């Protein structure tokens, strides 16, 4: 049996929760006794996931401020509270050298990856958390701490999300704790173009010898959401199998960057 971490009866919103990391987060929160409100753009997948987890769901893009307001309204209407927000939905586009980046695509990356998390927190703060408190967890990336080939828009937007996490942590304390989790390479659709062509080689270069699974990240999120982390705010929890410390472990080239550099690779 999983520990409840005091999440029994709490209510959580998880964006981008129909597959990958967001789905694992929503599943782990539900298993810990929380009621979950899940989102994604594909309405059928949202319905399926909400039913699977015994929660509710709202279909739409996090880039749409009306959708974010509707998500908060739905969670409050159904659960009467919002204790946890997990900003997980993101895009890894546009892919390629920054000198070729279309300004509209760049703006979309910042709308989805930075502005939407802020707006969802604003909505939840105004409607519930300012008075009652809560916990926010933003899903960043291990890659936000350094640069990499062809992922400049993604990395820059996630670095902004990391900074936003710390700024909000200071502004919203003591009522609301705001933290981030930064995954390394995880077995999901978004990252399939990196891990699928030769997973063994990538895994061999990581100190913990495997790529991540969505539940590796989900367990860290659940802990940060819970009262077990009641004195933790403004923190970034790396869940990366040792990616950040690999230089002290192996002398081989960084296989993930080699993948990103390879002509023909592309994001999903």
Ligand X SMILES: NC(=O)c1ccc[n+]([C@@H]2O[C@H](COP(=O)([O-])OP(=O)(O)OC[C@H]3O[C@@H](n4cnc5c(N)ncnc54)[C@H](OP(=O)(O)O)[C@@H]3O)[C@@H](O)[C@H]2O)c1
Q: Give 19 or 219: the residue with its C-beta nearer to ligand X.
A: 19
103 contact partners, CB below 8 Å, separation of at least 6: none
Q: Which is nearer to ligand X, 7 or 24 (CB)?
A: 24
Question: For ligand X, which stretch binds (CB under 6 A), given 56-64, 171-179, 200-208, 228-236?
Answer: 56-64
CA 185 → CA 22, 175, 239, distances in Å?
15, 33, 9
Is 15 near ligand X (CB under 6 A)?
Answer: yes
Type and span of the H or E element at 258: helix 255-261
Q: 152 to each of 73, 91, 171, 238, how far by Cα in Å? A: 35, 12, 28, 20
How far is Cα 182 from Cα 138, in angstroms, rounded to an integer?
9
Whether 112 contacts 60, CB under 8 Å: no
Q: Does 61 bind ligand X (CB under 6 A)?
A: yes
Q: Does residue number 185 form part of the binding site for ligand X (CB under 6 A)?
A: yes
Contact residue for ligand X among 12, 13, 14, 21 (CB under 6 A)? 21
Count the residues in the chain.
Answer: 268
Interaction of residue 189 with ligand X, rule CB under 6 A: yes
Q: What is the smallest separation between the CB atom of 9 and ligand X, expressed in angstroms?
A: 25
Residue nearer to ligand X on the CB measure, 175 or 266:
266
User: CB under 6 A: which stretch of 17-25, 126-134, 162-170, 231-239 binds ligand X?
Assistant: 17-25
Q: For ligand X, which stretch binds (CB under 6 A), given 27-35, 61-69, 222-230, 250-258?
A: 61-69
Separation in Å, CA 24 to CA 21, 106, 138, 187: 5, 28, 15, 12
In the complex with ligand X, which residue's Cβ is closer, 26 or 176?
26
Q: Which of 144, 250, 154, 140 is nearest to 201 (CA)?
A: 250
Size of the site for ligand X (CB under 6 A): 30
Other beta carbons less than 10 A from residue 266's beta carbon: 11
Tokens 């390394």 label which residue? 184
Q: Rounded to the nearest 5°, which phi and psi values hold at 118?
A: -65, -45
Tell me: does residue 112 bind ligand X (CB under 6 A): yes
Interface with ligand X (CB under 6 A), residue from 37, 40, 169, 229: 40
Segment near ligand X (CB under 6 A), from 57-65, 128-136, 227-235, 249-257?
A: 57-65
Q: Which CB, 6 or 65, lies closer to ligand X?
A: 65
Query: Looking at 186, 202, 220, 229, which residue binds ligand X (CB under 6 A)?
Result: 186
Closer to ligand X by Cβ: residue 146 or 175: 146
Q: 172 with 178: CB under 8 angstroms?
A: yes
What positions carry a catalytic annotation?
154
Interface residues toward ligand X, by CB under 6 A: 15-22, 39-42, 45, 61-63, 88-91, 112, 139, 141, 183, 185-186, 188-191
């Amino acid at each position: 049996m999983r520990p409840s971490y005091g999440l029994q009866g709490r209510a959580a919103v998880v964006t981008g929760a129909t597959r990958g990391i967001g789905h694992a987060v929503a599943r782990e929160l539900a298993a810990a006794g929380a009621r979950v409100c899940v989102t994604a753009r594909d309405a059928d997948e949202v319905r399926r996931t909400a039913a699977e987890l015994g929660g509710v769901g709202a279909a739409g893009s996090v880039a749409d401020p009306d959708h974010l307001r509707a998500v908060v309204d739905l969670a409050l209407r159904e659960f009467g509270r919002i204790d946890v927000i997990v900003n997980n939905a993101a895009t890894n586009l546009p892919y390629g050298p920054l000198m070729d980046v279309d300004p509209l695509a760049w703006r979309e990356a910042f709308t989805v990856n930075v502005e939407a998390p802020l707006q969802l927190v604003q909505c939840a703060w105004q409607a519930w958390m300012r008075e009652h408190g809560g916990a926010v967890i933003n899903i960043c990336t291990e890659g936000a701490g350094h640069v990499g080939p062809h992922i400049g828009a993604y990395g820059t937007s996630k670095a902004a999300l990391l900074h936003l996490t710390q700024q909000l942590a200071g502004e919203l304390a003591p009522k609301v704790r705001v933290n981030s989790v930064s995954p390394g390479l995880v077995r999901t659709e978004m990252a399939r173009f990196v891990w699928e062509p030769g997973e063994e080689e990538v895994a061999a270069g990581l100190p913990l010898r495997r790529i991540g699974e969505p539940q590796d990240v989900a367990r860290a999120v659940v802990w940060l959401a819970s009262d077990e982390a009641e004195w933790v705010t403004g923190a970034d929890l790396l869940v990366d199998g040792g990616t950040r410390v690999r230089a002290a472990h192996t002398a081989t080239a960084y296989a993930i960057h080699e993948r990103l550099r390879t002509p023909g690779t592309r994001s999903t």
